[in-house]
Structure 1
Amino acid sequence: TPKPDLTSDVKAAALTGNSVTLTCTLNLSSAGWKFYWIKDTQSTETYTHSYTFTPVRVSDGGQYKCRARRGNPVYYTHYSDALWVNVIEYPKAVVSIKPDNHVFRGERVTLRCDIRGGGDTEWTYSWNKNNKTLYPDRTTQECNFSPVTIDNGGKYTCRGRRSSDSQSLEISDALTLTVSDTAEPVVRVSPLSWLTEGDSVTLSCEVKHSSTGWTFSWYTDVPYRDSQGSLRYRTALLSDSSRGSGGSYTLSPVTLNHTGVYMCRAERGEPVFHTQHSKPRPLCVTGESPPVSLIISPSRTQHFTADSLSLSCEDQRDSTGWTVRGYTHSETLYSCSSVSGSTCNISSLSTSHTGVYWCQSESGGRSHSLNITVHNGDVILESPVHPVTEGNPLTLHCLYRNTTISDSGADFYKDDSVLQKQTTGEMTISSVSKSDEGFYHCTHPERGESPKSWVSVRASQSVLKLLSSVVAASPYMLVTIILAVKCYRAR
């Protein structure tokens, strides 16, 4: 009695989703035979010597035998030797992108196709972009773009094919590579950009739309003399920049000399890809006795467009070597075009001059910073440029661009609440306290509303002198004195 030979077209474990064909071969004439396929106690009959599972499932795995029969009376062959069919869940192809899914023109980008659950099997790889074949047959898992261009952006998929028998996996899920033109780092300040000596502040740097793999460097602008001896400024790496490589740079405690502008830059990858510098971000620190004062003429924080303005650095000892620095609301550093000594003259103001200004020396000295607002409307508020001392009077005026307009009085507001209604366009607080600190503005019934200005109130010198003298005499009373000052300022 003949014995058939049972074989499979898949030599290794079959992968679900593919097909497996079993063949029952007889060394006899093939005419008239029917074939039985036996798995466990179940059997299936076919009129052909092959049996195909498509798509094959894990439940199709097991031990198989075959035999054939023909004629009447029926003639049976022997059973074939048993054949084990092993079916496993197909490994999954997964796409990953380094350094990030969102990259920038000029970076080196690596796409990788990993076969999860593929073991030590050898694979070949094919890549698709936006559902079109990109690379049909590669022996390496990785696909590199160096440098990456805008055109390289798109949805990428890959699939693996087993080298031993060409069984293919399903296509991976799509992963989108986004390529932007320019990497833009941004500096943020917490808690505030306006500080008092002794405070702590943290600057943080992040790259818009991307957060993976960056390290950061920190910069400020420093003065230097050009070949003609003129004072200029350049961007320089902070000496302790490495403290902020993780994206946060902390100053604690701040001093007056920390006033200035700060920038960051990010890098990642191999070879290293550098972003441009961030836009400058100002830090403004106030102290008790700066070495120089910024004097504004006319002496007010708000000004009309087309008016003239003078900013001067005045030092009781020597005002040479000081320059006026500015940071405008358009996030740019201001460079004065008309300079006379340590004075900056602006002949015609525009709203682009709105910003914060200070004096800076070659040696790194700083003045207090002052806000200047340039308004294109018809009403501005005249308020003190410098802090008002507790106990002193505070006078505010509502000024009008066209002084020929009849004065119908003005309403004055503090923190958006009506404070006083005056027929004279002027209001006075006879003795200010810390509670009077806040944002003030005025409105005119015909001409409109002024911008808001911050009025700062500082402790009186008598309290400060009392504190210093008592602490010098008895340091152990420090806590008591501090509490007394807090109570005084809260009156």
Structure 2
Amino acid sequence: MTQRLKISNKLNDLIGSLFIVISLISVTKANNSITLTDHCTDRRFVNSLNTTFMQFTKETVDQEYAVEGDFKGLHCCAKGYRSIEWLKDGRSYPWSSEDTSSLIVYPDAENQTIFTRKASKIDEGKYTCVLRNATHKLEHHIELKLQSSSPDIPLATFKPVDQFANVDGSARFYCEAFIGKKALPNIAISIKWYHLSDDNKIPSANNNDELIKEEVVYREDEQIIGSYLTITQVTLNHYGRYLCRVEIGNSPKHRLDMSASLINALRIEANAKSILTNPVFLGSCAAIIALITFFLIFHFTKQKWMSFINLSKANKGDVNFNISSTPLNFQKSRKSSQNECDDMKVMIDII
């Protein structure tokens, strides 16, 4: 009977542990949260879906935060690699010591994710994922910092990046911040995109625009909040700067602003071509090249003349020395030759 109770208790402990792990690494889809397993397969770059070469498949977060004692995961989402290696401060996984890090590889995510159930100070540091195939290597670095409590101001984990798109093309922005756990359940947390205008007004990015879509996502029990801004068909009105604002509560003191621009790639290409075909630009280049060529020829010719004069001077000195019968005649001959050389130098300098 005692043996059965012990076995039963062990089974209960095992089931309880499994339940805790599952609850930590899976969150309901109803609130747009991303599970640990699905993180690298969710919302991948469209241009990565039908390709096979080694590449990162979604935005690469390079700054991560965690509260001590809470769950933490780091991701390196990619495809086309033969091997993936994790390092912490230059030390390869599996760590040689427990003092290096408590994060372990999550195999169900094809080694693209490492995690810990309870983050601690030893987990702080610089993590690197190294992707390799037969010929190439890719690296991505992530800095992990531990917090003693949730921050008062959102901490940026991924800042939006400038995007280039043609008219009728598509564009995607992403921003993300660590907010931690709510201090009070009624505190409002928001993340929103704005399209900045020339007069610095900030109308909503998707204000009555069916071509723009905002999608808020969460991870790690809603301690990290992010937002995708997708423009399905770019028009001229869509170009400009976009602001991502993350707020804790309603006070400007607890606000984080990040921004990036949507740039007309075709216009940049057209401007480059117009410059290269501009007659004024081509004429200026031709004039500069001609001027440089003239000075090079002049300098080369002058050097040749100087060498010829010095050689003539030396030869005349030797001849006069041999044919002169007196020192007086030799000195006169040398002075005459010197005067001729000086006159020639003056003429060259004038030219």
Fold conserved between structures, TM > 0.5: no
Query: Higher relative contact order by CA 8 Å / sep ≥ 6: 1 or 2?
Result: 2
Q: TM-score interval w.r.t. the shorter chain? A: under 0.3
In proportion to residue count, which structure has more strand?
Answer: 1
Task: From the two aligned structures, give the one with the greater helix fraction.
Answer: 2
